[in-house]
A and B are shown apart, each in its own frame.
Chain A
Amino acid sequence: MRAGAIAKNGGALLIALVLIFPVYWMFASSLKPQSEILTKDPVFLFTPTFDNYTKATGVDLFWTYVTNSLIVTIGAVLISLVVALAAAFAIARMKFRGRKGLVLGIMMAQMAPWEVMVIVVYMIARDGDYLNSLGTLTAIYFVMVLPFTIWTLRGFIAAVPVELEEAALIDGCNRGQAFMKVIFPLLAPGLMSTSLFGFITAWNEFAMVLILNKEKESQTLPLWLTQFQTAFGSDWGATMAASTLFALPVLLVFAFLQRRAVGGLTAGAVKG
Chain B
Amino acid sequence: MTVHSQGAVSTAPEDAPGRAAGESTTPPPPTGSQEIHTPPRGRRSRLGGLVPYLLIAPAVISMAVLLLYPLVKNVILSFQQVNRKELITRVPEWVGFDNYTELLKDPDFWTVVLRSLVFTVANVLLIMVIGSLIGVLLNRLGTKMRLVLSLALMLAWAMPIVASVTVFRWLFDEQFGVANWVLRSLGFSGYEQHNWFETGFSTLVIVTLLIVWGSIPFVALNMYAGLTTIGSELYEAAKMDGANGWRTFWSVVFPNLKPFFMITTFLEIIWVFKAFAQVYAMNMGGPDHASETLPVYAYITGQGLFRYGLAAAISVLTIVMLIAIMSFYFRLILKQEEEQ
Query: Are B154 and A206 in contact (CB-based, < 8 A)?
Result: no
Which secondary structure dominates where chain A touches chain B? Answer: helix
- State whether the Cβ of B303 lies closer than 8 Å to any Cβ in chain A: yes
- Is the C-beta of A186 less than 8 angstroms from some C-beta in chain B? no
B276–A246 contact, CB under 8 A?
no
Q: Does the CB pair A19–B152 fall under 8 Å?
A: yes
**Inter-chain contact total with CB atoms closer than 8 Å:** 301
A220 → chain B closest CB, angstroms: 10
Q: Cβ of A172 < 8 Å from any Cβ of B?
A: no
How far, in whole Å, are A272 and B275 apart by their CA atoms in the complex?
Answer: 19
Question: CB-CB < 8 A to B315: which residues of A?
Answer: 113, 116-117, 119-120
A107 CA to B327 CA in the complex, in Å? 11
Name A246's contact: one of B37, B69, B73, B163 (CB within 8 Å). Answer: B163
Give Cα A243 to B163, complex, Å. 5
* Least Cβ–Cβ distance between B254 and chain A, in angstroms: 16
Interface size of A by CB at 8 A reads 103
Q: Which residue of B lies closest to A119 (CB)?
A: B302
Q: CB within 8 A of B63: which of A19, A121, A146, A272? A: A146
B14: interface (CB < 8 Å)? no
Tell me the count of chain B residues lying within 8 A, CB to CB, of chain A. 106
User: With contacts A109-B67, A143-B66 known, is A86 near B56, CB below 8 A?
Assistant: yes
8 Å CB interface, B309-340 against A:
311-312, 315, 318-319, 322, 326, 329-330, 333
| Residue A8 CB within 8 A of the other chain | yes
Q: For the complex, what is the distance from the CA of A240 to the CA of B146, rounded to whole Å? A: 29
Contact of A250 among B35, B158, B302 (CB under 8 A): B158
Query: Which B residue's beta carbon lies closest to that of A22?
Result: B167
Choose one: A12, A143, A251; the contact of B67 (CB below 8 Å).
Answer: A143
Q: Which of A122-141 contact B (CB under 8 A)?
A: 122-124, 127, 139-140
A33 at the interface (CB under 8 A from B): no
Interface string of B299-312 (1 = CB under 8 A from A): 10011000010011
Q: Does any Cβ of B come within 8 Å of A236's Cβ?
A: yes
Asked whether B330 lies within 8 Å of A104 as measured between CB atoms, the reply is yes
**What are the residues of chain A within 8 A of B66 when measuring CB–CB?**
139-140, 142-143
* Shortest beta-carbon distance from A23 to chain B in Å: 5
> Contact: A254 with B274, CB < 8 Å?
no
Query: Does B69 contact A124, Cβ atoms closer than 8 Å?
Result: yes
Q: Are the C-beta atoms of A267 and B141 separated by less than 8 Å? A: no
How long is the Cα–Cα vector from A120 to B87 in the complex, in angstroms? 12
Answer whether residue A75 sits at the interface, using C-beta atoms and an 8 A cutoff.
no
Q: Is A112 an interface residue (CB 8 A)?
A: yes
Residue pair B3, A236 in contact (C-beta under 8 Å): no
The interface centre, meaning the residue of A203, A262, A269 with most chain B CB atoms within 10 A of its CB, is A262
Interface bits A139-154 vs B (CB < 8 Å: 1, else 0):
1101100110010000
**Do A112 and B67 touch (CB < 8 A)?**
yes
Within the complex, what minimum Cβ distance (angstroms) separates A258 from chain B?
7
A127: contacting residue among B1, B90, B148, B270, CB under 8 A? B90
- In the complex, what residues of A have CB within 8 A of residue B221's CB? 262, 266
Closest to A228 in B: B166
A153-181 Cβ-contact flags toward B at 8 Å (1 or 0): 00110110110001000000001000000
Nearest-neighbour CB distance to chain B for A149, whole angstroms, equals 9
CB-CB < 8 A to B149: which residues of A?
12, 15-16
A230-259 interface (Cβ within 8 A of B): 234, 236, 239-240, 242-244, 246-247, 250-251, 253-255, 258
Contacting residue for B137 out of A8, A99, A124, A147, CB 8 A: A8
The segment from B19-27, B106-114, B118-126, B259-267 that touches chain A is B259-267
**Complexed CA–CA distance, A89 and B55 (Å):** 8
Query: Which of B5-13, B97-105, B175-183 is the contact stretch?
Result: B175-183
| Residue of B70, B213, B260, B303 touching A117 (CB-CB under 8 A) | B70
Q: Which residues of A contact B (CB under 8 A)?
A: 8-9, 11-13, 15-17, 19-20, 22-23, 25-26, 29, 37-42, 83-84, 86-87, 89-96, 99, 102, 104-105, 107-109, 111-124, 127, 139-140, 142-143, 146-147, 150, 155-156, 158-159, 161-162, 166, 175, 200, 203-204, 206-207, 211, 222, 225-226, 229, 234, 236, 239-240, 242-244, 246-247, 250-251, 253-255, 258, 262-263, 266-267, 269-272
Q: Which residues of B contact A (CB under 8 A)?
A: 1-3, 33-37, 39-41, 43-45, 47-48, 51-53, 55-56, 58-60, 62-63, 66-67, 69-71, 73-74, 77, 82, 90, 134, 137, 140-142, 145-146, 148-149, 151-164, 166-171, 173, 175-176, 178, 181, 213, 217-218, 221-222, 225-226, 259-260, 263-264, 267, 270, 274-277, 280-281, 294-295, 298-299, 302-303, 308, 311-312, 315, 318-319, 322, 326, 329-330, 333
Would you list 10 pairs from A and B whose C-beta atoms are within 8 A, ordered by A residue? Answer: A8-B140, A23-B155, A96-B53, A115-B276, A225-B162, A234-B173, A247-B159, A247-B163, A253-B158, A262-B221
**5 extra interface residue pairs, beta carbon distance < 8 Å, beyond A175-B51, A254-B157, A258-B154:** A96-B48, A204-B277, A222-B162, A236-B170, A263-B225
